């Protein structure tokens, strides 16, 4: 074996991960603090975690936040995927670029402005602020993200496959479900998860459209911050971080598992083919 | 395609589960339209145990929503689309909301226990006769200092801020009324002064403060003072009480020559639905033992004079937050100056901020 050589790029990688994870580690560390503040660590306790589970209002907010995130990103992914397909099949290059630009404008425009516009719109048409208003606005700001994630996959797709499918007698529905959707699935999934995270941590837009007893976690934490964020929030963040970690690690192992299975299948097929000869 | 459909189904199932969970939680709290009270308050500005107690006593269910600034709260209520039954703005915002007809006039016959409130906190210029608002907490503007760096005697009056030993050590809160006001107070004028000469003199005096100013900041003062990055700061008593909690070297002083007196009061917005619940909550909070418990939890000063007798003496005798009569006499509430003078105050403050050392 060749001796492993020290690489600068690895050092850089380690540095980047430290920068990314240090704040979270710091926050989790203090969630076990007995002292009540983040100024000094006085002793180990699980009280903060007990407090999280005792605070039914906070638990309710967490459930609502997750519900909004899952549902809004599902709707946004559905709408955004068909939007992307629509944009992809626009005949004129000029119109396509124009539509895409409109999509991008929404992506870069400040959240505060989007939020304020939603507030004005909803109250103008006499809409009651609450679950539905938050859901609708989250769907709205997630759509451009999904479009942007799906479009590259469409461009990667081999157009001749569609032509071939048509030649073989497939109707539009079959072309869509058998050719287009399977080849852009990775983009759709990426779009879904992007939309999900956007929705989870959005503060600015959500702030304007919550009301009547409905809030999300971001808004709640922000308004608590005025009095100094209590360690209960640290504990909750730690729990959510661990939950996300489990999801990601689980997904990783499922993928690995599938990969090895595929390789095994290939090998077996190969062996059978050899044996038949 | 199968994979996508499967994922959609899975997400929908999880959503259903979450919905049921949230619904169960809400049912467990027994919230329905009839018996609910929508309370719109500052974040963490009430003892949660009091909400539970209120719910047990009256049968109403409280939905507690929070805001982080008067302006945010104002926007939500002004735009409509919400039905908060009770909100807690500060005095200048109450005045503005009264002017813009956003509040209902209180039915005094339904309010019990107003006589518990110290008379000096009632009938204030922003709401004469308390037609629209009931005091919740009050506080002052003052100086917070760290005894490691500054002697106690060295900081007792506004003028002490000008002391040359404090070069580059003072932090100021970023507010035109507050800073121009302290200059006016130091000269012995009213902080609602509309006298051009007094204002110009105050602005000039402020300029000579520049060498001592370390920074003009907002909420960050709390952190800087706790971490001892500055030795002196001008800030509100509510903020100060939190800083004192975290760092025992800090002390708060209200200059006896005069300062600002601020209020956070209960009001009922026009968009409220459940008036009975709102009155019930106001009455509940006016009860001395509840006010006392709340004051102990939040750490601000309660206007409820009967409650003071129930509080431990180390709280009520603390002149940092319950100043003596002499000081109280000189405290002033901000009056609405009208747009012309607000402009003048702002201009002077901006000039001060731009003044070079």
Specify the pLDDT at position A1.
53
Which tokens is B48 given? 């949660």
Instruction: Please give the average per-residue pLDDT across B42-48, as a whole number.
Output: 82
Check CB contact of B270 with chain A, cutoff 8 Å.
no
Check CB contact of A150 with chain B, cutoff 8 Å.
no
Specify the pLDDT at position A142.
92
Please, which residues have CB within 8 angstroms of residue B297's CB and are 6 or more apart in sequence?
B46, B47, B49, B50
Which tokens is A3 given? 């001796």
Contact B15 A71 (CB under 8 A): yes
- B349 within 8 A of B180, measured Cβ to Cβ: yes
- Going by pLDDT thresholds of 50, 70 and 90, the confidence category of residue A2 is low
Instruction: Please give the average per-residue pLDDT across B294-314, as a whole number.
Output: 87
Residue A33: strand, helix, or coil: strand
- More confident position, A18 or B177: A18
Nearest to B202 by CA among B188, B223, B212: B188
Specify the pLDDT at position B135.
92
Query: Does the pLDDT value for residue A9 go beyond 60?
Result: yes
Residues of chain B contacting residue A115, judged by C-beta atoms under 8 Å apart: none
- Going by pLDDT thresholds of 50, 70 and 90, the confidence category of residue A195 is very high
Specify the pLDDT at position B343.
87
Side-chain half-sphere CA neighbours of A86 within 13 A: 11
Specify the pLDDT at position A80.
93
State how far the Cα of A142 lies from the Cα of B98, in Å rounded to an integer: 39
Check CB contact of A113 with chain B, cutoff 8 Å.
no
Distance from CA of B163 to the nearest CA of A (A): 31
Specify the pLDDT at position B280.
92
Please, which residues have CB within 8 angstroms of residue A249's CB and are 6 or more apart in sequence?
none
Specify the pLDDT at position A16.
94
Specify the pLDDT at position A18.
94
Name residue, tokens 């929508």: B38
Q: pLDDT digits over A201-216, tens only?
A: 888 888 888 877 788 8
Specify the pLDDT at position B245.
81
Question: Crossing angle for the helix pair A131-156 and A111-124, nearest 10 degrees?
Answer: 130
Tell me the torsion sign for CA atoms A192, A198, A201, A202.
negative
Instruction: Please give the average per-residue pLDDT across B136-153, as a whole number.
Output: 88
Residues of chain B contacting residue A59, judged by C-beta atoms under 8 Å apart: 25
Check CB contact of A10 with chain B, cutoff 8 Å.
no
Residues of chain B contacting residue A258, judged by C-beta atoms under 8 Å apart: none
Question: Crossing angle for the helix pair B2-29 and A56-88, nearest 10 degrees?
Answer: 150
Residue of A nearest to B85 (CA): A212
Q: pLDDT digits over A162-192, tens only?
A: 889 989 988 888 888 888 888 888 899 899 9
Query: Does the pLDDT value for residue B229 go beyond 60?
Result: yes
Nearest to A218 by CA among A74, A10, A12, A66: A66
- Going by pLDDT thresholds of 50, 70 and 90, the confidence category of residue A73 is very high
Residue of A nearest to B25 (CA): A60
Instruction: Please give the average per-residue pLDDT across B38-60, as a whole number.
Output: 87
State how far the Cα of A45 lies from the Cα of A61, in Å rounded to an integer: 24
Instruction: Please give the average per-residue pLDDT across A116-136, as a whole number.
Output: 86
Residues of chain A contacting residue B75, judged by C-beta atoms under 8 Å apart: 119, 208
Specify the pLDDT at position A228.
61
- Going by pLDDT thresholds of 50, 70 and 90, the confidence category of residue B79 is confident
Specify the pLDDT at position B33.
59
- Return the minimum-mean-pLDDT range out of A241-245, A253-257, B344-348: A253-257
State how far the Cα of B321 lies from the Cα of B317, in Å rounded to an integer: 8
Specify the pLDDT at position B25.
77
Contact B81 A230 (CB under 8 A): no
Residue of B nearest to A228 (CA): B242
- More confident position, A186 or B81: A186
Q: pLDDT digits over A213-254, tens only?
A: 788 888 888 777 666 667 888 888 898 899 888 988 988 888
Instruction: Please give the average per-residue pLDDT across B150-156, as a whole number.
Output: 82
Q: pLDDT digits over B240-297, tens only?
A: 888 888 888 889 999 888 888 888 999 999 988 889 899 999 999 999 999 999 988 8
Partner B, chain A 66-95, Cβ-Cβ below 8 Å: 66-67, 70-71, 74
Contact B42 A226 (CB under 8 A): yes
Check CB contact of A227 with chain B, cutoff 8 Å.
yes
Q: pLDDT digits over A25-70, tens only?
A: 988 888 888 876 666 777 888 888 888 888 777 888 888 899 999 9
For the complex shown, is ipTM > 0.85?
Answer: no
Q: pTM for this one?
A: 0.70
């Amino acid at each position: 074996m060749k001796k492993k050589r020290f690489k600068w790029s690895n050092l850089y990688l380690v540095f980047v991960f430290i920068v990314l994870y240090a704040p979270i580690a710091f926050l989790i560390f203090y969630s076990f603090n007995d002292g009540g503040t983040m100024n000094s660590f006085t002793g180990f306790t699980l009280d903060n975690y007990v407090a999280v589970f005792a605070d039914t209002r906070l638990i309710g907010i967490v459930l609502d936040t997750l519900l909004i995130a899952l549902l809004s990103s599902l709707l946004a992914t559905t709408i955004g995927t068909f939007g992307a397909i629509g944009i992809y099949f626009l005949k004129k290059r000029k119109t396509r670029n124009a539509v895409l630009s409109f999509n991008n404008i929404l992506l870069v425009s400040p959240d505060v402005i989007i939020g304020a516009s939603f507030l004005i719109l909803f109250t103008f048409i006499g809409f009651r602020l609450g679950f539905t208003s938050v859901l609708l606005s989250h769907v709205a700001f997630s759509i451009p993200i999904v479009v942007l994630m799906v479009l590259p996959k469409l461009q990667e797709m081999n157009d001749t496959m569609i032509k071939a499918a048509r030649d073989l007698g497939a109707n539009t529905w079959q072309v869509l479900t058998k050719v287009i959707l399977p080849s852009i699935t990775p983009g759709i999934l990426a779009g879904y998860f992007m939309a999900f995270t956007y929705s989870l941590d959005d503060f600015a837009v959500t702030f304007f459209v919550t009301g009547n007893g409905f809030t999300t976690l971001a808004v709640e934490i922000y308004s608590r911050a005025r009095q100094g964020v209590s360690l209960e929030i640290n504990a909750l963040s730690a729990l959510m971080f661990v939950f996300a970690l489990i999801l990601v690690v689980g997904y990783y192992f499922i993928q690995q598992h599938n990969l090895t299975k595929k390789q095994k299948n290939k090998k077996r097929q190969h062996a059978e083919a050899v044996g038949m000869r | 395609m199968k994979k996508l459909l499967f994922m959609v189904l899975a997400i929908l199932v999880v959503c259903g589960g979450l919905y049921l969970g949230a619904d169960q939680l809400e049912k467990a709290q027994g919230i329905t339209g009839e018996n609910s009270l929508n309370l719109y308050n500052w974040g963490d500005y009430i003892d949660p145990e009091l909400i539970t107690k209120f719910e047990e006593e009256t049968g109403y269910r409280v939905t507690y929503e929070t805001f982080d600034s008067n302006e945010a709260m104002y926007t939500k209520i002004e735009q409509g689309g919400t039905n908060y039954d009770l909100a807690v703005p500060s005095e200048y915002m109450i005045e503005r909301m009264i002017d813009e007809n956003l509040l209902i006039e209180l039915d005094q016959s339904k309010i019990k226990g107003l006589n518990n409130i110290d008379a000096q906190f009632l009938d204030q210029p922003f709401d004469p006769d308390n037609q629209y608002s009931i005091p919740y907490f009050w506080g002052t503007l003052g100086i917070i200092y760290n005894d490691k760096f500054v002697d106690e005697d060295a900081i007792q009056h506004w003028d002490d801020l000008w002391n040359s030993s404090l070069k580059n050590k003072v932090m100021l809160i970023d507010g035109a009324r507050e800073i121009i006001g302290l200059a006016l107070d130091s000269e012995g004028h009213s902080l609602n002064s509309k006298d051009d000469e007094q204002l110009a003199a105050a602005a000039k005096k402020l300029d000579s403060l520049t060498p001592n100013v370390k920074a003009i900041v907002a909420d960050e003062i709390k952190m800087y003072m706790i971490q001892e990055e500055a030795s002196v700061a001008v800030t509100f008593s509510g903020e100060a009480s939190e800083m004192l909690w975290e760092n025992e070297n800090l002390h708060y002083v209200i200059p006896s020559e005069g300062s600002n007196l601020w209020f956070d009061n209960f009001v009922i917005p026009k968009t409220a639905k459940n008036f009975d619940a709102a009155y019930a909550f106001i009455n509940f909070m006016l009860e001395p033992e509840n006010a006392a418990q709340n004051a102990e939890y939040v750490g601000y000063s309660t206007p409820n004079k009967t409650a003071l007798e129930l509080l431990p003496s180390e709280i009520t005798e603390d002149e940092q937050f319950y100043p003596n009569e002499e000081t109280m006499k000189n405290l002033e509430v901000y009056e609405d100056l009208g747009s012309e003078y607000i402009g003048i105050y702002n201009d002077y403050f901006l000039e001060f901020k731009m003044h070079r050392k």
